[in-house]
Amino acid sequence: CQARKFADYENDYSVFPTHVVTAIERDSGFGGEGDVLVREYDYGDASYDPVETEMRGFRWVVERDVGRGRRTEIEYEQPADVYDEAQRAAVRYFKGKQRRVRVVDLANNRTLSETAFTWRAAPAGPRMQVNLQSRTTTAWGTAGTSWQTVQANYTYDAYNNVTSVTETDPQD
């Protein structure tokens, strides 16, 4: 198969070529220099699940916003490389969920903020509902030291509706 040959040569994780957006240009509406806003994208670790025969997306995406001087790195949960049936059953619901988002200053490659996510799967009738369990965001100051960390924990009722969000600073 030509697609298999291409995938084996160019990309070990996908069995077919995948079209992606590499840049988005927008006119800001203001005249003069710098009125076109450009965001560029890179992708990595395409995830194809041979057991369920589906393209799962990418393990990470990088967005560069040159005008703002920032790079955003997004990691996704991609359990397609888990082949043990018991482990697979436990992680399959989290495919494509964000694992981590990191924002970096392009000028000095300094991390501005980083957010980590945890997820839970809960029964919703005959199906499973995936809910955000916690989100921890750390922001760094200009000296590169941790400035503030906020952790948000989510609780849900029996119908998987959010009943409360508790935000705390784990450093307190």
What's residue 150's pLDDT? 93
What's residue 33's pLDDT? 66
Instruction: Say how far apart CA 81 and CA 167 lie, in whole Å.
Output: 34
Rounded mean pLDDT of 121-134? 87
Instruction: Say how far apart CA 132 and CA 26 lie, in whole Å.
Output: 32
Which residues, in sequence order, are CB contacts of 87 under 8 Å at separation 6+? none
Instruction: Say how far apart CA 53 and CA 77 lie, in whole Å.
Output: 17
Coil, helix or strand at residue 139: strand
